[in-house]
Amino acid sequence: MIAARAVPVFDRLLSLQTPRGAFPSTVTAGPDKAPIIDETAFITAQIVIILSELSGALDAERCARALDSCERALDFLETCESRSRRGAFHFYSRLAEARRLPIALPPDADDTALCWAAFVIAGRRRAGTAASALRRCLEPLPAAARQSGDAPWVGAGAVRTWLAMGGENPVDVAVNANIAFACAVCGLTGRLRDGAVATAVRGLAGSGTDPAHLRRASPYYRDPAEIACILHRASRAGIMRLRRISDRFSACEAADRLAGRPVERPLYCNAHGEPVWRSAALQLARRFEDMRLRPHPKTSSQPEGDCHDDAKIRA
């Protein structure tokens, strides 16, 4: 059951969705820069995952609203697919009217993994379709050849972040954990999943939550609580090796939860630390999730798109 106090959080979350279907974030390029409203696949996919997993705990009216919101968000995610690399996804939409930083980014492993996970969990794509796309887009990318600046724990099976050849392309443990999560959602086993899991385990082994180590191991993630959220999500999907590491980060997520999932907390950045993204929408979605018992993520064996009648919201 979701408490009545969760209803305003749900309503506020849906009110933030943009006309293009995205859930927004803000990005700040420096201490003297005004924040820019941003629309990204990355934030939107994560909120689709949360809303889809929780739709069965809503009454009929709010379930319908949540599913309609997810459909519009999924439409936005479709506009983030690469035109030149089928099945790969960009951080940004190709819609010219979306407000965003004027930067061109290649498709990347993180957005590709989370978009496919969102498509499967929300019921828009079949698990087998997602598994084939992940294998086609990400399996050619393991970091077999070491690059200058690679950490000692970067080994065979690690997946680099950008789906592009040349230039700086670090291995991020959180990105690899998201790949493992997406593989679990669509039932993909084998080299890609095993390599991503092993990379996250090696990169986080023995480090605790030391900020200096985490900055090197996860250059695109700004706060240990984000890594904790990723590990928790992957462990809930049944990846036992990440569950053991997730336990070490549980205090970080617990602190974020007890603080009410502060909307101003930094979430993501580029590999050099700037710019920094924040998202009231994502933190509200997590706050909504915190207000109920978390269900297990929908997997390929579960029915798609159902609105269950049990555990209704009591408004």
Cα within 13 Å of Cα(251), Cβ side: 3
Q: In what order do the strands lie in the sheet with 276-278?
A: 36-39, 24-28, 276-278, 268-269
- What pLDDT score does 40 carry? 95
Per-residue tokens: 49: 């995952």
- What pLDDT score does 85 carry? 92
- What pLDDT score does 314 carry? 29
- What pLDDT score does 3 carry? 66
Residue 111 one-letter amino acid: D
- What pLDDT score does 229 carry? 95
| Rounded Cα distance, 132 and 120, in Å | 12
| Rounded Cα distance, 196 and 160, in Å | 10
Kindly list the averaged pLDDT for each block of 10 residues, start to end, along the chain of length 315.
77 96 90 86 98 88 94 98 95 79 87 98 97 92 68 89 84 96 97 95 82 90 94 94 89 93 94 91 95 50 33 29
| Rounded Cα distance, 140 and 208, in Å | 31
Our CA angle for 204, 120, 78, nearest 5°, is 100
Closest residue by Cα to residue 221 from 263, 181, 176: 176
- What pLDDT score does 142 carry? 59
224 alpha-carbon distance from chain centroid? 15
- What pLDDT score does 311 carry? 30
Residue 73 phi, psi dihedral angles, 5° rounding:
-65, -40
Report in angstroms the alpha-carbon separations of 42 from 61, 139, 203, 253: 27, 21, 22, 19
Cβ 245 vs Cβ 7: under 8 Å: no
Per-residue tokens: 36: 């820019």
Report in angstroms the alpha-carbon separations of 73 from 21, 26, 224, 287: 4, 17, 27, 19
- What pLDDT score does 102 carry? 72
